[in-house]
Amino acid sequence: MDIFTLAIWIGTLTFLGISLAKDKVKTKQALKMALGMGKGMVASILSIIFAIGLILTLLPPTEIAAFLRSQSALLATVGGALLGTITLVPAFIAFPLVGTLVHAGVSVVPSVAFLTTLTMVGVVTFPLENKAFGTKFTAVRNGLSFLFAIAIALVMGMML
Amino acid sequence: MIIIKKIKENLFLSIVALAYIIMFIAKPAMGIESVKSSGYYIKEMLMIMPVIFILTALLDMWVPKEKILRYLGKEAKTKGILLSFVVGSISAGPVYAAFPMCVMLHKKGASIRNVVIILSSWAVIKIPMLINEAKFLGLKFMALRWVLTVIVIIIFSWLTAKIIKDQDIPGEVLTRAGLHINRDACMGCTLCAKSYPELFEIENKRALVKPQEALDMDKLENAIRACPVKAISYNENTAM
């Protein structure tokens, strides 16, 4: 557990203690609400998680790296950005991987495009985001994130 | 018919399940590997989701709408943007952990722009991630990408708020499991407490649900109908 997760736990438990001391009924209701939220989301979250597991097996990060290395800069950038949207690689795998790419002489642009869409745009989280915020919001947020991720990549390519 | 309806309601889940079934028949080894690599994410979820749900519910219960509106609403301007970046950056867990929190904040008056900022910075610019990035890609690379990302989020959150209106967001879907009182709409008229005194009580001029094991549906329906501002909602099907 990293320090931020730990801090959120400690903070929330303190909050819960204060809440309990102040008003038992309200606290009980909040906990019920939390349980309801959990019940409502658990199926969606599990499907996201198992979808990620599936994608990681069918499309292993090492193969993505090989693809980015072998293509022309333009194809690699668009491809990298697209691959980034469909997978959700944990940071501790993604950064070392992209690190080796950049050090091996792969252009910065596709690497950054991949890194940025990896976290900001989510095809697998789309159904859940859709349920929470509606199709219009989800489509606009993810669409703009994708375009701007490419913009970030291009600017970084010019500056580095 | 019921099965078809269930599949339609959980389309994504059904597709994933189907993909696994096909995989296990065609390539059992790959199927096992997929389950194994899901393990890390399940651990990640269990570490963060319970606490996020509790925190969201507690904030919903204790922080009044006016506060959220003042700090994260449309009028909060630069202060709201800054605060949204801070909230997103010190967060933990995957981006879907931000969904219930952001739905709650929006319901209580946070602007669309600030919700987009929280969601996006939650996804991309978390501090532990930045440390990791600096380690493997260098400080200059990390700093430059961080600055560009912040600029980009400022721009596209503004754009999103131009395109999306508050009415486009369905609202309380995630928090509306079971019985719910919209305390921001409640005027404290006491009609619900009169029609179902075992379940509702009035506290600080707002209605509150008393902890209750079994619900009397007839009485509950009467109370829901009695409410002049339609602040009480009951959702029997707690699954999404």
pLDDT bracket for residue B1 (50, 70, 90)? low
The answer, yes or no, to whether residue B176 has pLDDT greater than 70, is no
Question: What is the average pLDDT across A77-85?
Answer: 89
The answer, yes or no, to whether residue A12 has pLDDT greater than 90, is yes
Q: Which of A13, A75, A6, A151 is nearest to B159 (CA)?
A: A151
Distances (CA, A) of A134 to A139, B61, B76, B105: 9, 24, 24, 16
**Looking up tokens 């909230």, which residue turns up?**
B87
Task: Find the residue in B nearest to A47 (Cα).
Answer: B13
Question: What is the average pLDDT across B143-158?
Answer: 94
Question: Per-residue pLDDT tens for B8-39?
Answer: 777 888 888 898 999 899 888 888 888 888 88
Between positions 84 and 113 of B, the ones with CB within 8 A of A are 90-96, 99-100, 102-103, 112
> What distance in Å separates residue B226's CA from the closest CA in chain A?
22
- Rounded CA gap, B229 and B214, in Å? 25
Claim: this prediction has a pTM higher than 0.90 = no
Of 3.40.50.300, 3.30.70.20, 1.10.10.60, 3.40.1010.10, the CATH number of B176-235 is 3.30.70.20
What percentage of chain B has pLDDT greater than the value 90?
30
Question: What is the average pLDDT across A27-47?
Answer: 88
Strand blocks (E) in chain A: none
Question: Per-residue pLDDT tens for B111-144?
Answer: 999 999 999 999 888 888 888 889 899 999 999 9
Chain B CB within 8 Å of residue A58 CB? yes
Sorted by sequence, the CB contacts under 8 Å of residue A78 that are 6+ apart come out as: A113, A150
The answer, yes or no, to whether residue B240 has pLDDT greater than 60, is no
- Rounded CA gap, B142 and B131, in Å? 8
pLDDT score for B113: 95
Q: What is the ipTM of this complex?
A: 0.89
Q: What is the mean pLDDT of chain B?
A: 84
- Rounded CA gap, A62 and A66, in Å? 6
Question: Per-residue pLDDT tens for B38-89?
Answer: 888 898 889 999 999 999 999 988 988 889 989 999 888 899 999 999 999 8
Most confident of A118-132, B91-105, B108-122, B193-207: B108-122
The answer, yes or no, to whether residue B208 has pLDDT greater than 80, is no
pLDDT bracket for residue B173 (50, 70, 90)? very low
Question: What is the average pLDDT across A90-114?
Answer: 83
Between positions 9 and 38 of A, the ones with CB within 8 A of B are 9, 11-12, 15-16, 19, 25-38
Which residues of chain B have a CB within 8 Å of the CB of A57?
Answer: 30, 33-34, 37
- Rounded CA gap, A153 and A114, in Å? 9
Hey, of A125, A141, A155, A159, which one would you mutate to test binding to chain B, going by the most B CBs within 10 A of its CB?
A141
Distances (CA, A) of A85 to A45, A47, B27, B195: 17, 17, 25, 52
Chain B CB within 8 Å of residue A99 CB? yes
Chain A CB within 8 Å of residue B120 CB? yes
pLDDT score for B129: 84
> What distance in Å separates residue B14's CA from the closest CA in chain A?
8
What percentage of chain A has pLDDT greater than the value 90?
24
**String of DSSP letters for chain B:** -HHHHHHHHTHHHHHHHHHHHHHHHH-HHHHHHHHHHHHHHHHHHHHHHHHHHHHHHHHHHHS-HHHHHHHHSGGGHHHHHHHHHHHHHT--S-GGGHHHHHHHHHHTT--HHHHHHHHHHHHH--HHHHHHHHHHH-HHHHHHHHHHHHHHHHHHHHHHHHH--GGGS--GGGT-SEEEE-TTT-----HHHHH-TTTEEEETTEEEEPP-SS--HHHHHHHHHH-TT--EEEES----
pLDDT bracket for residue A155 (50, 70, 90)? very high
Which residues of chain B have a CB within 8 Å of the CB of A144?
Answer: 156, 159-160
Which of A143-157, B108-122, B180-194 is predicted least confidently?
A: B180-194
> What distance in Å separates residue A151's CA from the closest CA in chain B?
9
Q: What are the structural domain ranges in chain B?
A: 2-46, 63-168, 176-235
Q: Inter-chain contact A32–B211, Cβ cutoff 8 Å?
A: yes
- Rounded CA gap, B232 and A133, in Å? 21
Between B35, B128, B133, which is nearest A2 by CB?
Answer: B128
> Taking the alpha carbons of A50, B40, A58, A154 in that order, is the dihedral positive or negative?
positive
Q: Which comes out higher in pLDDT, residue B179 or A82?
A: A82
